[in-house]
Amino acid sequence: METRRLPARKDGRIILHFDHDCFYAAVFEARNPSLKSLPFAVQQKHIIATCNYEARRRGLHKLMLVRDAKRICPDVIIELGEDLTRFRDASKDLYNFIKAYSWDGKLERLGFDEIWMDVTSMVDYNMEFLNRNDLQHSFFVLSKEDPTLGFAYDASVLAGHSYPKALGPSGDGDGRLDELSLRHHLGSHLALHIRHQLEEQKGYTSTVGIATNKLLAKLVGNLNKPKAQTTLMPPLASSDLDSDSLGNALLFMDDHEIGKIPGIGFKLAQKLREFIVQHPVEYDFANGGAQEQVSVARVRQHPDIDFEKLEALLGGPGSPHGIGYKVWCLLHGVDDSEVSQDRPVPRQISIEDSYLRLDTMTKLLTELNTLAQSLIKRMRIDLLSTEDDFVEEKSTSEVDASEAVDRVVVGKRWLAHPRTLRLTTRPRLPLRVDGTRERTMKRISHSCPLPNFVFDLRASTEAVAEKLVRQTVLHMFRRLHPEKSGWDLSLVNLAVTNMAEAAGESKTANGRDISNMFKRQDEVLKDFRVTESPPELVSFSGELSEEEGSHVAAFGEGVPMFNDDNEDDDWNE
């Protein structure tokens, strides 16, 4: 059957995936290195958000209750980590450090602690200067402008671990490495060099995966943690589609549980599991996984599964066109998506938190104001230009002047104007007859145009946030929850989306395209009107997208929605 054929592979790239080890804990350890040898954990609300490997060695783990952590390890040192400022700043600093090694800016950040880096151009350049007769004495050039800038290495061997562990013959019959294996060798030595520099200069260790696409690079790095790297080596695919032998890519993918594959989120994984086992599968929120595991191999080898069947099974309202073929490719370790180049502004800015119980208007107002203040601060940090002069006015409620600065920025310009404000909640389901409550991942949302006063830089963040909640967010909430009593929320999210980049992005001699700015002025500003009455709401309701579902699925209700393993592509808090 044609639809059962393997997807075509394009294995010409070399991609590195950096995952900073125990990132939240590492941020504290970078400031206080003595913590590295002690059991140390970061707390968010009543949960251990992450802990270092010394703490893990003593029985602690992520998402453990703080009281249980203290009982298991009484001498554990715990720091509060609900203020994400320090983590965000460290994340950007490490991103910029790694970006300095890139020749083409192909770096893509995932959450606070993960980075993809496409190093194909660097590997291609260095392949041209290899002496194939003396690979042991090679030199990796880090700059085209300065050929003396680089490091010596042995290109005949791989740096770090490999998959599979026992490498088979990778030569061309006379002991010489084949081209793709040699390219992997170069990528592994570059990864090792950057890792060492990251630790030496910044004090952070990382785990790296090296492969020919983003999917495989992210997954293969998980094999050896922490402070290590793993390369997925050729042959990646069988040379004969009718052969019983499998390439290393399929062998590697087949052992993974279906819900562990990036791009296959919570809902998609549940549909696939239930199709394979032919009965509903319960989800174990406490342990962060399905009670019945289904491997990629079971799905891929199922006689009734092909990409057309996957399209029928996984498609439907809200699903992207071609989802069946995309998942079919992922099952085979095929991912042609590009490593996105650094963009000046995010696609959205999203702030959310989760709650053990949120069921009164007094508590709700407090939480909405907190979320709105964080949202306005993030907008002023991420969406304002940095080249102009500005004045900073410190918040009266600041605790640490270096971290809690309320930026009232004068003289700066907006790089982008979000057009849409979105409020999302996750209501708890009512109690069953037996007194238990069904767990749910279902969210409901309302959107409306973002009011123009949000862009007033003369007002403090507290004033703007309070006005936004009073004039807009509360009306959105009442549309979502018209009942005056009885609602109980486990999560609230406030986000700005639909970014309209400011005019003048094209550069002229003086740095701005004035004519283009005026041409686009009406378009950019048309959605920003000051209104005294609540705007007419454009509403929609539904469940999480598949990508969002994969992020939330790792957490039970009442657990903070920010963590080391954030899988959201946007700049979230």
Q: What is the pLDDT of residue 309?
A: 92
Instruction: Reply yes or no on whether the pLDDT at 213 is more than 80.
Output: yes
Question: What are the E-state strand segments in 12-84?
Answer: 15-20, 40-44, 47-51, 77-80
Backbone angles phi, psi at 182, to 5 degrees: -65, -40
CATH architecture of 349-542: 2-Layer Sandwich (3.30)
Selection from 149-158, 493-502, 515-524 with the highest mean pLDDT: 149-158
Q: Which single residue is written with the structure tokens 């209750």?
A: 65
Question: What are the E-state strand segments in 14-143?
Answer: 15-20, 40-44, 47-51, 77-80, 107-110, 114-118, 138-141
Gap between the Cα atoms of 140 and 119, Å rounded: 13
Task: Between 438 and 360, name the one with better pLDDT.
Answer: 360
Which of 116-130, 131-145, 183-197, 539-553 is predicted least confidently? Answer: 539-553
Gap between the Cα atoms of 347 and 353, Å rounded: 20
Instruction: Reply yes or no on whether the pLDDT at 168 is more than 70.
Output: no
Dihedral angle over CA of 202, 203, 207, 213, nearest 10: 0
What's 145's DSSP letter? S
Task: Determine contact, residues 328/313, Cβ cutoff 8 Å.
Answer: no
Instruction: Reply yes or no on whether the pLDDT at 405 is more than 70.
Output: no
Gap between the Cα atoms of 82 and 556, Å rounded: 17
The predicted model scores a pTM of: 0.77
Percent of all residues in the chain with a pLDDT value above 90, rounded to a whole number: 61
Instruction: Reply yes or no on whether the pLDDT at 240 is more than 60.
Output: no
Q: How confident is the model at residue 410 (pLDDT cuts 50, 70, 90)?
A: low
Gap between the Cα atoms of 48 and 73, Å rounded: 13
Q: What is the pLDDT of residue 507?
A: 40
Q: What is the pLDDT of residue 1?
A: 44
3-state SS class at 243? coil
Backbone angles phi, psi at 303, to 5 degrees: -65, -20
Which of 197-201, 217-221, 342-346 is predicted least confidently? Answer: 342-346
Task: Determine contact, residues 426/558, Cβ cutoff 8 Å.
Answer: no
Q: How confident is the model at residue 485 (pLDDT cuts 50, 70, 90)?
A: low
Which of 163-177, 293-307, 347-361, 369-383 is predicted least confidently? Answer: 163-177
For the chain, the average pLDDT equals: 81
Which of 79-83, 317-321, 443-447, 508-512 is predicted least confidently? Answer: 508-512
Write out pLDDT tens, residues 417-448: 999 999 999 998 777 777 666 666 788 999 99
Which of 167-176, 182-191, 402-411 is predicted least confidently? Answer: 402-411
According to DSSP, the residues that pair with 141 across neighbouring strands are 150
Could you state, in order of their start, the residue ranges of all structural domains in the chain? 2-8+251-331, 349-542
Write out pLDDT tens, residues 371-403: 999 999 999 988 987 654 334 444 333 444 334
Write out pLDDT tens, residues 518-565: 445 554 444 433 333 333 333 323 333 333 333 333 333 333 333 333
Gap between the Cα atoms of 374 and 461, Å rounded: 9
Write out pLDDT tens, residues 5-63: 778 899 999 999 999 999 999 999 999 999 999 999 999 988 999 999 999 999 999 98
Instruction: Reply yes or no on whether the pLDDT at 324 is more than 80.
Output: yes
Q: How confident is the model at residue 159 (pLDDT cuts 50, 70, 90)?
A: very high
Gap between the Cα atoms of 445 and 486, Å rounded: 18
Gap between the Cα atoms of 529 and 472, Å rounded: 13
Task: Determine contact, residues 323/315, Cβ cutoff 8 Å.
Answer: yes
Q: How confident is the model at residue 503 (pLDDT cuts 50, 70, 90)?
A: low
Which of 110-119, 458-467, 504-513 is predicted least confidently? Answer: 504-513
Q: How is the beta sheet containing 571-572 ordered, strand by strand?
A: 538-541, 444-449, 416-427, 489-501, 349-358, 571-572
Which of 82-96, 167-181, 489-503 is predicted least confidently? Answer: 167-181
